[in-house]
């Protein structure tokens, strides 16, 4: 076959291609993570990694196992649906600790905490309780609303605020 006599160099070039492809396949089998393709075109273990991230908010269920008394107070008041950490901040460090007393949460300051939700603005739904700057006349909210877990007006302290 004389027509093939002069094709040697072409086969060498093609051989380079095949060689590169084989190396590629070899490396690929070695490099691609084992769980890739387990559920789809991604690393299946990525889901495990994501689920294993640490928690910072323990969730109100955790709080309520110990603080059942406060949960009961809350349940009957206006803040029944406000979860603990919404005001107290992330407490997984306290709630999930072997010794919770080692990480005592800091008590929130009502002077800055309450207005985060209750500051008056036209932009809030009208039926949501809101107060403007004059309302407290500089006093901390808990002066009158003594129990933030069930923030009805404490009648004994009724005085300054309208």
Partner 1 sequence: MKMNRRQILMLMPAAAIAWESILAGTPEEAPNYKMSEHWWSMLIDISKCIGCGNCVRACAAENKVPAGHFRTWVERYHVDDENMTEPQVISPNGGFDGFPAATEDTGKYFYVPKLCNQCADSPCTQVCPVGATFISPDGVVMVDRKYCLGCAYCVQACPYGCRYIHPELEVADKCDLCYHRITKGLTTACCENCPTGARQLADLKDPKDPIHEFLRTHNVQVLKPQMATGAKVFYNDLDGSVR
Partner 2 sequence: MNGVEGFMYPNEIALQWSVLIVLYPYITGLVAGAFILASLVRIFRVEAVRPTYRLALLTALSFLLVAPLPLQFHLGHPERSFEMYFTPHSTSAMAMFGYVYLWYLMAVLVFELWLDYRAEIVQRAQSTKGLLGLLYKAMTLGNYNISHEALELDEKIGWIVTLIGIPSAFMLHGYVGFIFGSIKANPWWSSPLMPIVFIFSAMVSGIAAVMLIYMATTKMRGLKIDVACVDAIAMYLFYTFIIDFALESLDLIHRIYEADESFRSLDFMVHTKLYIPHIVIQILLGTLTPLVLLAITQLVKLPERLRKRLYVIAGSLIMIGVFAMRWNVVIGGQLFSKSFLGYTTYKMHLISKEGLLVSAGLMLLPLAILYVLVRILPPWHEGENQVLAEGAK
What does the binding site for partner 1 look like in residue numbers (CB under 8 A)?
33, 36, 39-43, 46-47, 49-62, 65, 79, 81-83, 85-86, 89-90, 95-98, 100, 116-117, 119-125, 128
CA pair distance 106, 88, nearest whole angstrom = 8
Partners of 131 in beta bridges? 119
Kindly state the tokens that stand for 84: 């603990």
17 binds partner 2 (CB under 8 A): yes
Kind and range of the H or E element at 18?
helix 8-31
Instruction: Residue 103: name its binding partner from partner 2, partner 1, none (Cβ under 5 to 8 Å by kind).
Output: none
- Told to check if 19 binds partner 2 by CB under 8 A, we report no
CA dihedral 149, 88, 110, 75 (to 10 degrees): -10
Q: Does 34 bind partner 2 (CB under 8 A)?
A: no
93 binds, among partner 1, partner 2, none (CB under 5 to 8 A by kind): none
């Amino acid at each position: 076959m004389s027509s093939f006599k002069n094709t040697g160099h072409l086969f060498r070039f093609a051989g380079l291609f095949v060689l590169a492809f084989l190396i590629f396949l070899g490396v690929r089998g070695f490099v691609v993570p084992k769980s890739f393709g387990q559920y789809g075109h991604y690393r299946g273990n990525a889901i495990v990694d994501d689920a294993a991230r640490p928690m910072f908010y323990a969730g109100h269920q955790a709080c309520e196992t110990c603080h059942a008394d406060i949960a009961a107070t809350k349940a009957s008041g206006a803040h029944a649906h406000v979860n603990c950490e919404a005001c107290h901040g992330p407490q997984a460090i306290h709630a999930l600790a072997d010794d919770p007393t080692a990480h005592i949460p800091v008590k929130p300051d009502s002077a800055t905490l309450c207005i985060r939700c209750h500051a008056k603005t036209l932009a809030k739904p009208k039926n949501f309780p809101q107060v403007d700057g004059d309302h407290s006349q500089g006093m901390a909210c808990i002066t009158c609303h003594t129990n933030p877990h069930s923030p009805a007006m404490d009648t004994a302290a009724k005085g300054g605020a309208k």
